[in-house]
Amino acid sequence: MHNQQLIKRLNFGLFFLLGLYIALTFDQHGISNDEEVQHIYGRLLLNFYNSGFVDQSAFHYKNLYLYGGFFDLIAAMLEKIVPIWIWDMRHLLSAIFGFFGFIASYKIACILKDERAGLLVILLLFLTGSWSGAMFTHTKDVPFATCMTWALYYIIKISRELPNPSLGNTIKLGLAIGCSLGLRVGGIFSIFYLIATISYVGSVTFNQVSDKINFWFVSFKNLLPAAIVAFGLMAIFWPWAVTAPDHPLEAAEAFSHFSFNMTTIIDHHVVDIANVPRYYLIAYLIVRLPEIILIGLSGFVFLAIKNARFIDIKDPKYCSLFIIVLSTLFPLVFTLIDKPALYNGIRHFTFILPPISIISALGIIMTWDYLKFFRNYRIAFLSVIVFLGLCTFITLFKLHPYEYIYYNNLAGNLPEAESDWEADYWSSSLKEASRLLEEEIKQEELKSNVHLTHPYLVAVCAEDIQGQAYLGKNFQVTKNWIAADFYISTTSMNCDKVLRGKMIGKVERMGAILAVIKDRRSLIGPMRLPHQAPRN
């Protein structure tokens, strides 16, 4: 008990450091590709309410109406009262969501095991660049994942109270599910997990069919407040969804089978997003998760199989474990069966990272406990875990602020991984590239003592705002790429090869070039023409 209290204090210390990390670094991240349109959507939703439901522009804006606006609506409201540049404010808000995702994961791990598991989950989730790096700029994915994780937490708590869950936990579950649905229609996964949990508890608790049916009926009846709260929040944050009965189904169909033209890359093979292999998500998880997490997962699977005959399925802790395993496996099975259009690696399935980290933490502890009679093996196991954890931490430190592009050694070294898999797909490195361009021109003008009287034209292989937001008044982003004086681009999907020019700067991490700056002023004639990015 004393050790648990000591570890609990250590965990609180880690949360403090995590909060400090967010406070010190939230303004170091570039604007993401979708961020401008998402924020416009939030403003339109705010207009919808301010106009007394008259202004319904949000329901017709691009395809954003297919999403809930929970995060974007909050950001639009904060924009009017928080004295922070809007894009930095969005990144801070997104990171706060990510912070609460850490808390939910920690609380689940403590329920399933103890404070040791909570400690490991905090560390593992931080070492997962797809979470700790993504939580600043993935303003749709990380908030959604956080809401889903809190939904899992309250499903676990309610599973131990069925068929008469407390009203407090029922309302909190409704809040979590409602907020997840207020971000993406994928929040319906949490409803499936709840139904599966109730079915599981009823099936293992009673032998008579009549008793099971009565249990299920009472459980669902007592969870009606959660359904009411969830629906109410979904209606507030995603009003389009409740303007017609088939709208949620329309959104679900759209996200399962995207129709727009776009490509992705998997193990050096460029493919259309509608034709990705069924194992796309699994392959990306294998190369994106830190090695320490893969070891934990392997240990969990091995020892779970080995000890399967000792499992008492009526034990509440196994029901809780069932929920976490289900929330990890179901999305993977879904992608294998449904074969949805996918891109940007695991971005759309960021919500499975917390349960994966929880299972891995349990696997590490289970392996450690299993080796208690084998001292040398235990020391070797601990040494490997510490070594891999330190290596990943050092890699993330070197990648900052682009931790979200992290790949483990199974993908090769970083230059190989950035070539064979999705690289800086969010174009976050354009912030640094823009600053490098400004510095280059500043030094050039100081040497020549010549100052241009009109802005330099800059072509950006991303959304215009991702360059213009960080460039001074002597630069103007243009859509007329032929006339552009300079070109800034990430190397993702070979976008840097679309326009020619003299390389005058690059954003680089660990030997991998993330973005380039090209000077095109000396080019003439056909040399100025853009061409299609190569597919290899």
Q: Are 87 and 470 in contact (CB under 8 A)?
A: no
Q: In the predicted model, is pLDDT for residue 260 greater than 80? A: no
Query: What is the per-residue DSSP string for 167-219?
Result: HHHHHHHHHHHHHHHTT-GGGHHHHHHHHHHHHHHHHHH-SSHHHHHHHHHHH
Confidence at residue 259, expressed as pLDDT on a 0 to 100 scale: 62
Confidence at residue 1, expressed as pLDDT on a 0 to 100 scale: 58
Confidence at residue 431, expressed as pLDDT on a 0 to 100 scale: 96
Q: In the predicted model, is pLDDT for residue 218 greater than 70? A: yes
Query: Tens of pLDDT along 414-437?
Result: 999 999 999 999 999 999 999 999
Report d(CA 182, CA 231) in Å as an integer: 9
Q: Minimum mean pLDDT among 233-247, 322-336, 347-361, 439-453: which range? A: 439-453
Helix (H) or strand (E) holding 125: helix 115-127
Confidence at residue 261, expressed as pLDDT on a 0 to 100 scale: 78
Q: Name the residue with higher pLDDT: 260 or 289.
A: 289
Report d(CA 225, CA 219) in Å as an integer: 12
Q: What percent of the chain has pLDDT over 70?
A: 99
Please say whether the dihedral angle defined by the alpha carbons of residues 192, 195, 197 and 203, taken in this order, is positive or negative: negative
What integer best gives the mean pLDDT of the chain? 94
Please say whether the dihedral angle defined by the alpha carbons of residues 399, 400, 402 and 404, taken in this order, is positive or negative: positive
Asked if the bond preceding 165 is cis, omega within 30° of 0, the reply is: no
Q: How confident is the model at residue 315 (pLDDT cuts 50, 70, 90)?
A: confident
Q: In the predicted model, is pLDDT for residue 411 greater than 70? A: yes
Query: Tens of pLDDT along 58-69?
Result: 999 999 999 999
